[in-house]
Chains A and B, each alone.
Chain A
Amino acid sequence: MSATSAHINEHRDDTASKLGMWLFIFTELMLFGGLFITYSVYRYSHSGAFHLAAQELDVTMGTINTVILLISSMTLAMSTTAIQKKDKRTTLILIGITLVLALVFLVNKYFEWSAKIGHGIWPGSPLLEELGRGDTLFFGLYFFMTGLHAVHIIVGMVILIVVFVFVWKDKLTFDNFQLLENGGLYWHLVDLIWIFLFPLFYLIT
């Protein structure tokens, strides 16, 4: 091992990693914060149109996806407990379930989006121009915010796949599982943002 890489590996500081992850989560909250501000401003200036446009969204589909994400957060939290109990098999199964749920979420999202696009609603579509400014902004925000959220789901899945492989290869163990915990923190953030997106778009009508 070269001098330089030895010099990296000798300082393992789980508290620092966790602190770093929390700080990163703050930046993610600010990133979505910009969109939430934009949403509030346009909700205020076009409240009537937003009210009607929100009724176009499929509440059942949204509810199912919310439940899926909540369960996936639970299974991932359980996997963090499992690894501390040195139960590798359960850990892997729980991370696997989380990944499957994330995939189901994306499939649902795909059907939801294609239904909207099938009805002629997509950013910049001619139908939206006819419907008026409030609808344009509502669906613009809808596609942009849920789209950015979906990107975060995909990033989260990539992180969880890495974590899965590391647990599989015993690189993450009961006394060294910070990466799993950080992956979990990120996943809960993605979940949390959805918890705000769901009422803003589907429930407040």
Chain B
Amino acid sequence: MTSNDSENKGYKSYLEEDGGRKGIFKWILSTDHKRIALLYLYSMMVWFTVGVVLGLLMKLELIAPGQTIMGPQSYNATFTVHGVIMIFLIVIPGLPAVFGNFMLPIQIGAKDVAFPRLNLLSWYIYVLGSILVILSLFGNGPPDTGWTFYAPYSFKTGTNMLPAALGAFVLGFSSILTGLNFIVTIHRMRAPGMTWFKMPLFTWTLYGTGWIQLLATPIIGITLLMVAGDRILGIGFFDPAKGGDPLLYQHLFWIYSHPAVYIMILPAMGVISEIIPTFSKKTIFGYKAIVLSTLAIAFVGYFVWGHHMFTSGMSGTALYTFSILTFLVAIPSAIKVFNWISTMHQGSISTDIPFLWAASFIFVFLIGGLTGLVVGALATDVHLHDTAFVVAHFHFIVFGGVGFAFFGAIHYWFPKIFGRMYDKSWAKTGWIIFFVGFVTLYGPMFYLGMIGMPRRYFDYLDEFHGPNIVSTLGALVMIAGLLIILTNLIKAARHGEKTTEMNPWGGTNLEWQIPTPPPLENFDEIPVIEKATYKYD
């Protein structure tokens, strides 16, 4: 282990370099992209725990018909806050803010992002937004509109809707600034020789994501401000009594919130495109196809929002158009799946834990993606709209997509980030329990939706009882797996076995060619890139 070992090189890692500050100030005043990434990671872990607990409470309520542990108002508040926290605080910023921040500059051979101070400011804005979301829990009771804040209820409800909506607005601002920072970094700070088509695929997906963050987020910003205007001033933008159009709210909301799904899933696809070749010891199949399909998804994703509104009332022409465009988005997504499978084909696969997460990602992503076509088709959607089927589809694609990719990413980059190694057998135990629990939790909801169980109700008819019991048991199993995974990782981050191995998995990107953990400025000298990435000789 001589060439692969970064010990005894006489450098200080970013974890030791404190910039002359003490205690918590080492973190909250640092403009180092790696420390900011960890700030995001720790804040998100806190919110994720809250979100998971709320999700569990809902599943416990649904274990039997009638009121089990909470009444209708509490249930409405629970699914609203669960949604707001999970969407706006975790899955939208998740992969870009944590792993994007940490890895993007390293992957393109830069010392930091283009605007380090703006990067730190984005984190502060994120914290401000999350405080607003939490404030909404107090006062007149938590919001009960669902995370979509649909008008007219969102400006009529007596609950504390305003802080939650303003929180989402502020978080959007944080997301915009992160995207802006990444785009400029990629344009301006690539190392010599790092041409566009030599960039690692994770960086490429962050680039596509950056543009969506930049161009779609302002629309929800202004929409939420208009709802605030309706609520505070009584303007009536979306109030039918004053001539406003609630349907316009839905359009504006989904013009952002559908592309937001691609903000979530594109970086996840990027992570998978990193893990699969590393553990198959094979060049990624169809690099350019993956890049182009990333950009295609980012582009076409802007024009499909209407598929959330098939039953809301639109012209027939609009319905057909949105349905066809929705089917079009499936093509680049499928291209990626074929690429990953082809990469594995005849590769020398090692089933380490990041690979297991990536492989199970493909499995749940396929189910989530194909059921997406079921609700993207007009006739079937009329039957399935607003049922448990949609909830199952959404969780397969978003929790299955982003969640699995996030866990894959953290197990993949953990030794590089912390300079420590986790217990691999516990990691695998946690993964298999989580995976089984996940499928058991959301699988039955497809069936429940098809036989007509509506979503967002605290109660249901007796005939839906059986699958709901299975689903709640699945939730308990999944949370057991989650506890194992998180305990294993937290323990490893604090006391895990120290490692200075530069390239534990045999990856080809730049992050595996610098010391572990990386020094403050990542590279002593800016590297000159000669060969394409993902080349195994």
Residues of A near any B CB (own CB < 8 A): 2-5, 7-8, 11, 13, 15-16, 19-20, 23-24, 26-28, 30-35, 37-38, 41-42, 45-46, 123-124, 129, 132-134, 136-137, 140-141, 143-144, 148
| Chain B contacts for A133, CB-based, 8 A | 236, 242-243
Q: How many A-B residue pairs have CB under 8 A?
A: 132
Complex Cα distance A181/B30, Å?
28
Contacts of A38 in B (CB 8 A): 226, 237, 248, 252
* Closest 3 pairs (CB-CB, A-B): A133-B243, A124-B234, A4-B19
Q: Which residues of A contact B112 (CB under 8 A)?
A: 7-8, 11
Task: Give chain B interface residues in 201-258, CB to chain A under 8 Å.
Answer: 214-219, 221-223, 225-226, 229, 233-237, 242-245, 248, 252, 255
CA distance A76 to B170 in the complex (A): 30
Bound form: Cα–Cα A52–B229 in Å: 24
**Which B residues fall within an 8 A CB radius of A?**
17, 19-20, 30-32, 111-112, 114-118, 176, 180-181, 183-184, 187-189, 214-219, 221-223, 225-226, 229, 233-237, 242-245, 248, 252, 255, 520-521
13 A-B contact pairs sorted by A residue (CB < 8 Å):
A2-B19, A3-B20, A8-B116, A8-B117, A16-B184, A26-B215, A27-B215, A38-B226, A42-B243, A123-B229, A123-B236, A133-B236, A140-B229
Chain A residue contacts of B215, Cβ below 8 A: 26-27, 30
Q: Are B222 and A4 in contact (CB under 8 A)?
A: no
Q: Do A3 and B17 contact each other (CB < 8 Å), given the known contacts A24-B180, A27-B218, A34-B223?
A: yes
Cross-chain contact B233 with A124 (CB below 8 angstroms): yes
Measured in the bound complex, the distance between the Cα atoms of B237 and A141 in whole Å is 8
Question: How far does the Cβ of B514 sit from chain A's closest Cβ, in whole Å?
Answer: 16
- The answer for the CA separation of A156 and B31 in the assembled complex, in Å, is 26
How distant is A196 from chain B, measured CB to nearest CB, in Å? 15
| A134-B243, A137-B243, A140-B242 given; 5 more Cβ-contact pairs under 8 Å | A3-B20, A7-B31, A19-B187, A28-B218, A38-B237
* A27 surroundings in chain B (CB, below 8 A): 176, 180, 214-215, 217-218
Q: Known: A137-B237, A137-B243. Is A8-B31 also a contact (CB below 8 A)?
A: yes
CB < 8 Å neighbour of A19 from B19, B188, B223, B234: B188
B188 to A144, Cβ gap below 8 A?
A: no
A contact residues around B236 at 8 Å (CB)? 123-124, 133, 136-137, 140
Find chain A residues with CB under 8 A from B242 CB. Answer: 129, 133, 136-137, 140
Output the least CB separation between A113 and chain B (Å): 13
Contacts of A143 in B (CB 8 A): 233, 235
One of B111, B222, B520 near A34 (C-beta < 8 A): B222
Question: Which residue of chain A lies nearest to B183 when distances are taken between CB atoms in the complex?
Answer: A23
- How many whole Å from A88's CB to the nearest CB in chain B? 27
Q: Which residue of A lies closest to B220 (CB)?
A: A34
In the bound complex, residues from chain A placing their C-beta under 8 Å from that of B229 are: 123, 140, 144
Among A11, A30, A46, contact of B219 (Cβ-Cβ < 8 Å)? A30
Q: Report chain B residues within 8 Å CB of A132.
A: 243
Which chain A residue lies CB-closest to B114? A16
User: Are B32 and A4 touching (Cβ within 8 A)?
Assistant: yes
Query: In the assembly, what is the distance between CA of A126 and CA of B235, in Å?
Result: 12
Q: A140 — which chain B residues lie within 8 A by C-beta?
A: 229, 235-237, 242
In the complex with contacts A32-B222, A124-B235, A137-B236, A20-B245 CB distance below 8 A: no
Chain A residues with CB under 8 Å of B117's CB are 8
Report Cα–Cα, A132/B237, bound state, in Å: 14
Contact of A33 with B218 in the complex, beta carbons under 8 Å: yes
